[in-house]
Amino acid sequence: MEDTHGDVHKSAFKPQRARVALVGLIIIGIGTLIIQPSSTPIVKAQTTTVSTYNTNSPHWSHINIADFGTNLRALQPGAIQQAGYEWYASHVDSLTVGMNTFSYPDSTSTQAATMKSLNPTINTVGSDIDLFMCEHFGCWKTNATNTNQNNLPEEYYLHFSQNTHIDFFNHDHVTPVGSVDIPGCPDTGPVTAACRVQLFEYGEDTAWLPNTKSTAWRTWYADNLLSNMAVTGSVSNPIDTVFFDGHGMSGFSGAMYVGSALENRITTGGGIREYGGKAPRDFSVDPYHGDTLAQADALDTEWSSDVTSWLAYLRSRLAAVGKNIRINTGTTIYEPLIFQEVLAANGVLPEYFNSAYGFAFGATQYTPFLHSVRQVTAAGGTVDLYFRPCADKPADLATFFYTSPGNYDTAVNRFRMWNLAGYYMAKESTNESGKVYFDPTFCFDYTSTTPAQDLEAQWLKAYEHDVGQPVGEPSVIQEGKVTCPSNGHTDPSDAYHIYSRQYSKALILLRTRDALYCETYGDPTIVNVPLSSSMVMLEADGTYSAPMTSVPIRNGEAVIMVPAPDTTAPGAIHDLQTK
């Protein structure tokens, strides 16, 4: 794929092709793809040491851990649920909890208060939606009517200025689910509820759109949100952070899924009164903006500017009482219209990105991603590296994505260790006030009677290994042309890229996917990275490999290397279960 990410990104993470001076690493044979018939079996040498554990957050000095706590509140109340709460409190530094919101009302949740009692310094996160107002609670059309947002002053909504016909489709973009004819309210007449902009969101429910430029709406939303973040019903339920879903596509058309192959297909009309009668463009025709605004139309840019202004206003309101925002950008964090929202909110969750699978276009996505993360943390913002394995289970993804376990004992652990290395690549520098969270996104069945055991089975001892603190920024330290072995495809732009970042106690090496269509991830793709001295690889279970002077890295693989230890004095693995 052609690199469209511009010099602004390349200047921050400039590929280094020769004589790279890195602590503990000498690069030789740059650009050479070394094919080996099979990898050398990893022989475990000894267990690894971990950093000091703290009862309260942050639990470890080298890593910040966040999780959505999927199904945690759905566990059987009593001892079973309490066991799940206690496990999270002793492992996680930021957790999504129940909160009474506009879209997902829960007036009985006391989860935040419970988590604070178990871990007073844990960051509690509540979820809501700010860019559309579903007609039914939970954004599910069979639920009760959303009484919080269906009868507000008309100034709070957007309205069509002309008669408009829309065909609705499910989230598969294939199955039709209905249509609607909405009368227009021209500029010369009054606005009425009948002409509100109505779209189909998440493929599950129709929704009205708020007028984010309205001062009255902003004040109303912020006042209610702040109240809901402090008290749920009549119970104190302190929420530190609000997470806003639905910011994952650029401009109005992208964010609202308007297009000939998307959920909302406008066949006539579409002009929006509050935006001078401008109609949404067909996002299906040009879904990706890259690093240019050339494809964004006037409605996209004007609407995004209003959303950015709204987030800046809400951020100031929340900051005044010590609270903050994260918005879900999906894989579009570095697109200009989205990134201005990220900077305004000063917090982001780039869903799907933190895995080799997520970076489908390899280095052409990974370099601008790292650049964007650095801008956020330098400004004191928060980045949550969430991937959603509860929606796409690690075992399923790993066996689909990887053809071999590579340097690890299982494909699942290879998948998870890439995520961990990806966190260390993106982690905030020591001179930055922002924070990056590693998000393993644990999952278990809500019917489980043994949640702590289920969660412990997903916990890698490698998470506890003390890599120290970063002493430099990531850079591409080895790259070369590659022929995709799975289909014999050769293209001048095809290349592997190996990123490196030095920590005070470890060296992180990460290889992105070589190309979207390269689907071989096993031994035929091995590139040997020589090391300047004997080092060992950190394995998922917290043990070390045998010492090596070079490490094989496959397509979409990452490793964490540490100096070869003194094997006469093996360290003990810290066991949280004894806490």
Model pLDDT, residue 107? 75
Please write down the long-range contacts of 492-496, taking CB distance under 8 Å and 24 or more positions apart.
493/1, 493/2, 493/3, 494/518, 495/363, 496/33, 496/525, 496/527, 496/555
Q: What is the mean pLDDT of the chain?
A: 85
Domain count, the chain: 1
Phi, psi of 228 (to 5 degrees): -70, -25
Q: What percent of the chain has pLDDT over 90?
A: 65
In a domain, 89, yes or no: yes
Residue 172, classified by CB atoms within 10 Å of its CB into exposed (0-12), middle (13-18) or buried (19+), is: exposed
E strands, 38-159, are: 66-67, 94-96, 123-129, 133-134
Distance CA 558, CA 551 (A): 10
Model pLDDT, residue 361? 81
pLDDT at 13 over 60: no
Q: Indicate the pLDDT class of residue 16, thresholds 50, 70 and 90.
A: very low
In a domain, 179, yes or no: yes
Q: Indicate the pLDDT class of residue 199, thresholds 50, 70 and 90.
A: very high
Model pLDDT, residue 38? 33
Question: Which range, 1-15, 43-57, 124-138, 479-493, has the best average confidence (pLDDT)?
Answer: 124-138
pLDDT at 486 over 70: no
Per-residue pLDDT tens digits for 521-551: 889 889 999 998 999 999 999 999 999 999 9
Distance CA 14, CA 37 (A): 32
Residue carrying structure tokens 């400004």 = 379
Residue ranges making up the domain that contains 218: 66-400
The helix, strand and coil proportions of the chain, stated in percent and rounded to the nearest 5, come to 25, 25, 50
Q: Indicate the pLDDT class of residue 23, thresholds 50, 70 and 90.
A: very low
Residue 205's CB: how many other CB atoms inside 10 A?
A: 21
What six digits make up the tokens of 547?
Answer: 């010492």
Model pLDDT, residue 296? 84
pLDDT at 294 over 60: no
How close are the terminal C-alpha atoms of the chain, in Å? 50
Distance CA 468, CA 212 (A): 44
| Alpha helices for 407-498 (secondary structure H) | 411-426, 451-458
Model pLDDT, residue 489? 59
Are 209 and 202 in contact by the 8 Å Cβ rule? The answer is no
Domain of 326, CATH number, reads: 3.20.20
Are 241 and 126 in contact by the 8 Å Cβ rule? The answer is yes
In a domain, 371, yes or no: yes
In a domain, 268, yes or no: yes
Model pLDDT, residue 492? 58
Distance CA 174, CA 177 (A): 9
Q: Indicate the pLDDT class of residue 287, thresholds 50, 70 and 90.
A: low
Q: Indicate the pLDDT class of residue 295, thresholds 50, 70 and 90.
A: confident
Cα angle vertex 283, ends 280, 287, to 5°?
A: 145
Pairing relationship of beta strands 264-268 and 164-169 according to DSSP bridges = antiparallel
In a domain, 511, yes or no: no
In a domain, 237, yes or no: yes
pLDDT at 95 over 50: yes
**Identity at 233, one-letter amino acid code:** G
Q: Which has more pLDDT, 409 or 291?
A: 409
Distance CA 172, CA 432 (A): 41
Model pLDDT, residue 288? 56
Distance CA 407, CA 416 (A): 12
Model pLDDT, residue 340? 96
In a domain, 368, yes or no: yes
Per-residue pLDDT tens digits for 346-356: 999 999 889 88
| Residue in 256, 272, 264, 253 with CA at minimum distance from that of residue 167 | 264
Non-local CB neighbours of 64 within 8 Å, separated by 6+ positions:
58, 93, 94, 435, 436, 437, 438
Average confidence (pLDDT) over 499-510: 97
Q: Indicate the pLDDT class of residue 218, thresholds 50, 70 and 90.
A: very high
Q: What is the 3-state secondary structure (H, E, C) of 180-230?
A: EEECCCCCCCCCCHHHECEEEECCCEEEECECCCCHHHHHHHHHHHHHHHH
Q: Indicate the pLDDT class of residue 574, thresholds 50, 70 and 90.
A: very low
The pTM score is 0.88
C-alpha atoms less than 13 angstroms from C-alpha of 36 in its C-beta half-sphere: 14
* Element spanning 301, H or E: helix 298-319
Q: What percent of the chain has pLDDT over 70?
A: 83
Are 510 and 478 in contact by the 8 Å Cβ rule? The answer is no
Model pLDDT, residue 494? 73
In a domain, 222, yes or no: yes
pLDDT at 518 over 60: yes
Model pLDDT, residue 47? 53
**Identity at 424, one-letter amino acid code:** Y
